Amino acid sequence: MITFDTPLSHIPTIKEQSLKRLERLGLFTVSDMLYHFPHRYEDYSTISPISSLIPDEKCTLEGVVTHIEAGQTWKKKMFLTEATLEDESGNMRLIWFNQKFVAQTLKEGTPIRVSGKVSRDNKGLVMTNPAFERSSREAVHTGRLVPVYPETAGLTSRFFRWQITGIFQKLTIFPDPVPEEILTRLHLPSIKQALFSIHFPKDEEHQLIARKRFAFDEMLFIQLKALELKALFETAKGNPIFYDEQHLVQFTASFPFTLTTAQKRASQEILTDLGKTRPMNRLLNGDVGSGKTIVAALASFAVSEQGFQTAILAPTEILARQHFESLTRIFANTGQTLALLTGSYHILGKDTVTRTTLLKAISAGIPHIIIGTHALLEEDVAFQSLTLIVVDEQHRFGVSQRARLQELAFNSLDGSEEKVPHFLSMTATPIPRTLTLAFFGNLDLSLLDELPKNRKPIITKIGRTALDREKIYAFIRSEVSKGRQAFFIFPLVEESLAMKDVKAAVAEHSHLAETVFPHLSIGLIHGKMKSKEKETIMKDFHEKKYDILVATAVIEVGIDIPNASIIIIEEAERFGLAQLHQFRGRVGRGEHQSYCFLIPHDTSSGVSERLRVLEKTTSGFEIAEADLGIRGPGAFFGTRQSGMPDIAMENLTNIKLITIAREEAKNILKEDPKLNSHPLLQEALKKFEEKIHLE
């Protein structure tokens, strides 16, 4: 007897060679195989008479093999099998290339069903490499909605269909993690029905209902986990921070600008949370340039004033270094010591020190504010009194790093296991409501939806023609002559065989420097460079040693060059709207009017309509909603990076589904907080957690 946990190595029909290939896809057990869902279906459900066929039609035929021959072709040394299929209306040639098993399987007089695409050659209509099976057998590869699976070398969709069919025949127990009363109330199929319908649906409706069931499962698990985390923070003990309001007012008065209403509101929400005995667990969701760093600085000041430590994490060394430099300026007159810890930098106050020295200083409580990358998450980093963790662009950390962050949030690593640090997650990617609910359902939310009053809206234009491009180049020369600087953004670092038509940053840097702007100084920065090299180039650009910087997506988030007033984004249609908005936010950070030029390679009306969203609005939240609707949530965050399963990602725009899953999760945890009465759900959630780490 086989179960969900049976290793695939115990399935007799799966040979050792296939096992290694299955492992490459992350498939080790029967459950893994069953949850390896088709990514599309070929509709071969209608059986057509041969006489009705036309070229390029996909169809299923049923008839008898009246002729078959096989052998090596003389020209290309290819093994070829040719057969004639006959039904009541006529006959059709079938050809298979390099499939010797076909000649061994099919004989004259064999009744078969075939599915494939009809084409025409010099002898007439023909079907090449069709799927086939005996007419007497239940349809698996033909004559139905045929599942097509994510494949790897040596494992075809036919292999998966055959193996999964065999598993269904042998498997008798289908443990269902979701209580039956919930399924009945929501009109959802059992796990057995859903699994069968997603692999071998009777029709389109059956596979959609199955996907709905799995979307609900995944969203329920996500919400259960989010609510468990929320409950943990609500029952945990934090260090309440009773800040000195007068000192905070003096600190704020030292800023060379006035806080926006949104910054004041968000700061007050955070400071109120810091004063509670339960630890803060909040997301600061702000638009590009809305001033998240200042809000984080106010929170850090309140904590450091009381003698406690704050850790601020950034996803890249460039961002960490930038945060360190800007916070060092902000805290210049406070007497607070700041530190920077990354793979390349070990700075304590104004001094570069060894990593060992810096770690000793952190554990002794000398720096009150420690900025760093994932290097801060390493096992040997210990704090004396970690009371606040601030994470910038948390979704850009890898899954394993986010898991470590969770651990850090619940273990202060300062010997005070009873006290949980306050937790503030920040993002400059405006997140639509559905994504906030699904990704960040365990966090309280603060919005920065207002730009500083001295910020001028960035003028955005789409360049469609060669004449537009020449006008843009002339405008850049004019702006540079006034002392301004410009960014050029390209999708790739160097020419790719797969995308030859994409302008590459390296090649375009040479073209711009030698042909277009020979009298200007042009720098180049991309993700393949070492951190120190990128740091040097950004420093030189900041100090105006370059008039123009050619870059890839490495400059997307957080780079601050107040003198840069123009950004040109080539192949703009290859980026999502939210990402383009992030790029646009690299300019307009100073006193000068700034401009963004989008130059698409594809000038079709659909592309232009999508890019016009950026011409019409500078609101990141409006753009994010539009991007979510156009590209879907998988592209919005990046499915791989988010760790979200595919079906959950597909349904992240379904606010109704998310809301229902959240309500059901609340009801379950209200009656059974530890899920002790729901052992199957408890086990399924544990397995889900091993693969997925939520914020």
Distance CA 44, CA 539 (A): 60
Is pLDDT above 80 for 255?
Answer: yes
Distance CA 126, CA 115 (A): 12
More confident position, 652 or 421: 421
Chain centroid, CA 469 distance in Å = 33
Q: What digits encode the pLDDT tens for the residues 479-520?
A: 999 999 999 998 765 555 444 444 577 888 999 999 999 999
pLDDT of residue 110: 85
- Picking from 352, 371, 350, 374, the residue whose alpha carbon sits closest to that of residue 362 is 371
Q: Which residue has the tokens 């600085």?
A: 297
Residue 506 near residue 526 (C-beta atoms within 8 A):
yes
Q: 430-439, 617-626, 664-673: which has the highest mean pLDDT?
A: 664-673
pLDDT of residue 370: 97
More confident position, 310 or 647: 310
**Strand-pair partners of 374:** none
Distance CA 299, CA 390 (A): 9
How many other CB atoms sit within 10 Å of the CB of residue 539? 12
Residue 388: partners with Cβ closer than 8 Å, 6 or more residues away = 274, 280, 299, 300, 303, 308, 309, 310, 311, 421, 422, 423, 424
Which region among 48-52, 97-101, 210-214 has the lowest average model confidence (pLDDT)? 97-101
- Picking from 470, 501, 492, 450, the residue whose alpha carbon sits closest to that of residue 263 is 450
Instruction: End-to-end CA distance of the chain: give it in Å, rounded.
Output: 40
pLDDT of residue 312: 94
What SS3 state is found at 416?
coil
pLDDT of residue 695: 44
Confidence bin at 407 (pLDDT 50/70/90): low
More confident position, 363 or 455: 363
Is pLDDT above 80 for 152?
Answer: no
- Helix, strand, coil distribution of the chain in percent, nearest 5: 45, 20, 35
What SS3 state is found at 119?
strand
In terms of Cβ atoms closer than 10 Å to its own Cβ (0-12, 13-18, 19+), residue 320 is buried
pLDDT of residue 641: 39
What SS3 state is found at 114?
strand
Neighbouring C-alpha atoms within 13 Å toward the C-beta of 7: 7
pLDDT of residue 639: 40
227, 400, 432, 554, 589 from 221: Cα distances, Å: 10, 19, 21, 34, 41
Residue type, 339: A
Is pLDDT above 70 for 414?
Answer: no
Strands 309-313 and 131-134: unpaired
Tokens at 111, concatenated: 């009744």
Distance CA 379, CA 443 (A): 26
Distance CA 516, CA 653 (A): 44
Distance CA 6, CA 113 (A): 33
DSSP letters for 563-591: TEEEEEEETGGGS-HHHHHHHHTTSS-SS
Torsion of CA 404, 409, 413, 418, to 10 degrees: -140
Is pLDDT above 70 for 653?
Answer: no
pLDDT of residue 498: 43
Distance CA 464, CA 444 (A): 43
Q: What digits encode the pLDDT tens for the residues 426-451?
A: 887 777 766 676 666 677 889 888 87
Residue 659: partners with Cβ closer than 8 Å, 6 or more residues away = 437
Distance CA 86, CA 68 (A): 12
Instruction: Give the phi and the psi of residue 64 in degrees, each rounded to 5.
Output: -120, 140
Tokens at 379, concatenated: 């096992």
What SS3 state is found at 597?
strand
Which domains can be identified in the chain, with CATH numbers?
A: 1-40+157-173 (no CATH), 46-143 (2.40.50.140), 241-275+291-427 (3.40.50.300), 459-617 (3.40.50.300)
Q: At what angle do helices 531-542 and 317-330 cross, to 10 degrees?
A: 50
Chain centroid, CA 417 distance in Å = 33
* Mean pLDDT of the region 119-129: 86
DSSP assigned state of 377: G
* Mean pLDDT of the region 331-339: 92
